[in-house]
Amino acid sequence: MANNSEVRVRFAPSPTGDLHVGNIRTALFDWAYARHTGGKLIFRIEDTDKERVTDEYIQAAIQSLKWLGLDWDEGPEVGGEYGPYLQSERLDIYSQWSQKFLDQGDAYYCYCSSEELEERRQVQMKNNKHLVMTVNAEIYQLHKLSNINLLTANQLCVCACRMGKQFLLI
């Protein structure tokens, strides 16, 4: 791990198009803060949206930062101790941690459809609740019992993590 006293800031755009002013602002502030504190700027590409991310947009993000005169200490083209710096290349790391949480009973596979999840989000928004998906114990038990059958059927799912007595979809 990094030295706890060293500032590490991360700029992690999702290159589904050209960088916009909000991306540029974040990159500029992160870069300035890292340089001011003697810390490091980490540039990581959130490239997991395979339907919209392209190599062209990834290269455009890199070139945009260079054009602005912003350099980074870890990331694409420079490497670093905590790579890889493309999210899609980190899936093995995330799988290992997900499995650890599943084995400990701190996570479970959720097979709710996109429509079911969207319906829950709408209810939470209507009731001014946080936009974090909470899953009740009944749904947790149902999904936990059905894991083996659904996993062997290759049904799509997400990993839900327990936070205290509630489970959160992440």
Q: How many residues does the chain have?
A: 170
Question: Do the Cβ atoms of 72 and 78 come closer than 8 Å?
Answer: yes
Compute the CA torsion angle 55, 57, 62, 65 (nearest 10 deg).
180
CA–CA dist 112, 3 (Å, integer): 40
Domains and CATH numbers, the chain: 8-89 (3.40.50.620), 105-169 (no CATH)
Could you tell me the pTM of the whole model?
0.69
Angle between the N-to-C axes of helices 55-67 and 21-37, in degrees from 0 to 180, rounded to the nearest 10: 50
Tens of pLDDT along the chain (170 residues) come to 555 689 999 999 998 989 999 999 999 999 999 999 999 999 999 998 888 889 999 999 999 999 999 999 999 999 999 999 999 999 899 889 988 988 887 877 777 777 887 887 788 788 876 655 555 555 555 555 555 555 555 566 677 776 665 555 54
For residue 132, which phi and psi values (nearest 5 degrees)? Answer: -105, 130
For the record, the structure tokens of 128 come out as: 């001014």
